[in-house]
Structure 1
Amino acid sequence: MNIENDVIDNLAELERFLLSVEKGGLGLEGVAGVGMATSNADGRHFVAVFGDNHKLLLGRWITAEIFESGQEMVKNGVKSKH
């Protein structure tokens, strides 16, 4: 898996990550969606950027609190602040 070791531990950081994905700031190609998942290996939660055929392009570890409180943000997207 391509998961960065930095752990997202607050909603502001999750929002920044999601906006970076939405705006193409991470240099990822073929982004099809974003979701939250749990590693089968160790049970840790992560936010995942998926490409075609549900291929994991990039992931970031998240705390259990962010896994619970950030689900709506991931599901509905982030509204840019003007």
Structure 2
Amino acid sequence: MSEEQSVIDNLADLESFLLNVESGGFGLKGVAGIGMATNNADGSRFVAVFDDNQKLLLARMITENVFQTGQDMVRNGVGRKH
């Protein structure tokens, strides 16, 4: 996994990342899902964007704190606050 961006280290940055994915801000085609995972090689955490075939389209490293506290945000999505 290449690291093109800095590590997401707070929930505001995670929310911004998720909104960018949802709005097409990264130019990704065929986005089917977003999830959090652990790298088997080194135990690092990341948030990943997948297509219908579960092919990885984009990934960003996240801190352990964001992994623990941001799971509901990834699972349920983020909505614009009114």
Q: So what's the TM-score if we normalise by structure 2?
A: 0.93
CA distance in 2, matches of 1:77, 1:2: 25
Gaps of 5+ in 2: none
Amino acid at match of 2:69: S
**What is the aligned residue count?**
82
Deviations 1:14-42 (A, max 9, x none): 00000000011110000000000001111
RMSD: 1.2
Residue 57 of structure 1: CA displacement?
0.3
Q: For the structure 1 residues 8 and 73, does the alpha-carbon distance in structure 2 shift closer, same or farther, using more than 3 Å as the test?
A: same
Correspondence for 1:51: 51
Identity fraction in percent: 67
Q: So what's the TM-score if we normalise by structure 1?
A: 0.93
Correspondence for 1:70: 70
Q: Which runs of 4+ in 1 moved over 3 A?
A: 1-5
- Which runs of structure 2 are paired with 1:1-82 in the superposition (5 Å)? 1=1, 3-82=3-82
Amino acid at match of 1:19: L
Residue 3 of structure 1: CA displacement?
4.6
Gaps of 5+ in 1: none
**SS of the residue 2:7 aligns to:** strand
